[in-house]
């Protein structure tokens, strides 16, 4: 029996998706509930499973194409009862021919390299141009005798003069146009919206991280044994930010029309790197979470972000955001507010720097921090005081226990 694979309803605000990657090809056998295609919305990606066991007979929407909710993506032929594919018969992406990117296909055609000889390393098993170049470099490596691998047919040695300065290189100059993903388009729209609709300003400070580093060093082993997760810096910043937000509620509020909406709860967005870009899952009611619960949630977010398995609900909302560019080596930056939020705290790399303490120059582990805020709702005095409170709590972590 012929079965349709359609775009499901993924959320009230989602009307269309982009075909990110087909995990199966026409003619492949599939099992019921086995992922067949990856769909991307403007908020997240998701895998669409097969509704039946059988054979994928026809793909209607190709990779990169757009589809609306309810559109047919593919057709399957359901297997008769008792004839479903077994685990041994199951074929996955690793067992199929890789998806060859255009630049890689051109280079292989020029050099006469079969695709099956090149190991793909791209996302979803894609074969990239870099994979072909790596294969060609390996083919030129010296053999056991110390000589480069000989070509199949001998070519008479020809003396070639060096090219003149400024002469055109024989290497092709290539460009590859790739459609912008829905997620990247949505991020771009929101960033531009934030710049155009809010009065954004950034204030900076620096934090001596020595006390927190020492505390983590002292209690890391016991913490990890008891809770099964490492004690990181982010839980300290989440706790500290919440205490500061309680004192300066404008940074946890938003503007709705001509009203300012203040909240008595704290849903903290944590920016993490995903498989398809930066995403911001939300810690709901973070004020109720312990250090261990915060660290466990963030570790889970990071893991599922890499696998593109975060849900739409986890990416929606948020009253304040923390973004840690320091994990990528950023020394100082000005983060952009995620509308309709009014503030974002930017963290940066920790560096040993000379600082003055009690009239002496000493080396301390320092971090620059930045707070970008919407000046329509938050005054400069409040923003500076907020960041100063974050600094004081991080430099004296005991303040978090005393809530001072």
137 annotated active-site: no
Q: Are 372 and 323 in contact (CB under 8 A)?
A: no
* Domain 102-139 grouped into CATH 4.10.320.10: yes
The 8-class DSSP code of residue 50 comes to P
d(CA 342, CA 335): 12
The residues spanned by each domain of the chain are 2-95, 102-139, 187-402
CATH level 3 topology of 187-402: Chloramphenicol Acetyltransferase (3.30.559)
pLDDT of residue 307: 78
Q: Which of 357, 239, 340 has its CA nearest to residue 293? A: 239
pLDDT of residue 357: 93
pLDDT of residue 161: 53
* Domain 2-95 grouped into CATH 3.40.50.150: no
Q: Is the pTM above the cut of 0.75? A: no
Q: Which of 236, 123, 109, 228 has its CA nearest to residue 181? A: 123
The CA angle 5-6-12, to the nearest 5 degrees, is 150
pLDDT of residue 171: 66
d(CA 343, CA 302): 22
Report CA Rg, the chain: 27
pLDDT of residue 152: 43
- Give the largest Cα separation in the chain, rounded: 83
- Of 33, 83, 352, 375, the active-site residue reads 375
- Are 102-139 and 187-402 in the same CATH fold? no
d(CA 341, CA 260): 11
- Of 71, 358, 379, 389, the active-site residue reads 379
Q: Which of 391, 367, 381, 348 has its CA nearest to residue 241? A: 391
d(CA 342, CA 372): 8
379 annotated active-site: yes
Per-residue pLDDT of the chain (404 residues; tens, 9 = 90+): 889 999 888 765 678 888 888 888 889 999 998 989 988 887 677 888 999 999 999 999 988 888 898 899 999 998 876 565 554 444 444 446 666 776 777 788 778 888 778 888 776 677 788 888 888 888 776 554 455 554 444 444 445 455 555 555 566 788 877 777 777 777 788 778 888 888 999 999 999 999 999 999 999 999 999 999 999 999 999 999 999 999 999 999 999 999 999 999 999 999 998 766 788 999 999 999 999 999 999 999 998 888 778 887 898 889 999 999 999 999 999 999 988 999 999 999 999 999 999 999 999 999 999 999 999 999 999 999 999 999 999 999 988 877 66
């Amino acid at each position: 029996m012929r079965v349709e694979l359609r775009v499901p309803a993924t959320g009230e605000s989602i009307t269309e998706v982009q075909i990110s990657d087909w995990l199966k090809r026409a003619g492949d056998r599939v099992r019921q509930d086995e992922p067949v295609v990856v769909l991307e919305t403007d908020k997240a990606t998701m895998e669409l499973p097969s509704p039946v066991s059988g054979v994928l007979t026809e793909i209607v929407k190709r990779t990169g194409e757009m589809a609306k909710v309810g559109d047919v993506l593919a057709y399957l032929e359901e297997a008769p009862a008792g004839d479903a594919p077994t685990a041994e018969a199951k074929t996955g992406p690793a067992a199929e021919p890789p998806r060859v990117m255009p630049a890689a296909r051109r280079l292989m055609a020029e050099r006469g390299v079969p695709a099956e000889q090149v190991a793909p390393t791209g996302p979803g098993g894609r074969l990239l141009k870099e994979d072909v170049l790596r294969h060609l470099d390996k083919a030129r490596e010296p053999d056991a005798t110390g000589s480069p691998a000989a070509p199949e047919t001998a070519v008479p040695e020809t003396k070639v003069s060096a090219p003149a300065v400024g002469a055109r290189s024989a290497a092709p100059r290539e460009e590859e146009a790739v459609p912008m993903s829905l997620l990247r388009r949505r991020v771009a729209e929101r960033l531009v919206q934030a710049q155009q609709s809010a009065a954004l300003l950034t204030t900076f400070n620096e934090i001596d991280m020595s006390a927190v580093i020492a505390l983590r060093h002292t209690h890391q082993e016991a913490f990890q044994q008891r809770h099964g997760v490492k004690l990181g810096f982010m839980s300290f910043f989440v706790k500290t930010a919440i205490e500061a937000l309680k004192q300066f509620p404008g940074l946890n509020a938003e503007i709705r029309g001509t009203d300012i909406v203040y909240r008595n709860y704290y849903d903290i967005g944590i920016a993490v790197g995903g498989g398809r870009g930066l995403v911001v899952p939300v810690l709901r009611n973070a004020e109720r979470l312990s250090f261990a619960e915060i660290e466990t949630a963030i570790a889970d977010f990071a893991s599922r972000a890499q696998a593109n398995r975060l849900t739409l609900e986890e990416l929606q909302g948020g009253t304040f955001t923390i973004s840690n560019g320091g994990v990528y080596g950023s020394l100082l930056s000005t983060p952009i507010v995620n509308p309709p939020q009014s503030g974002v705290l930017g963290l940066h790399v920790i560096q040993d720097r000379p600082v003055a303490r009690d009239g002496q120059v000493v080396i301390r582990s320092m971090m620059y921090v930045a707070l970008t805020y919407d000046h329509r709702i938050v005054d400069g005095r409040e923003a500076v005081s907020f960041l100063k409170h974050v600094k004081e709590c991080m430099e004296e972590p005991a303040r978090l226990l005393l809530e001072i």
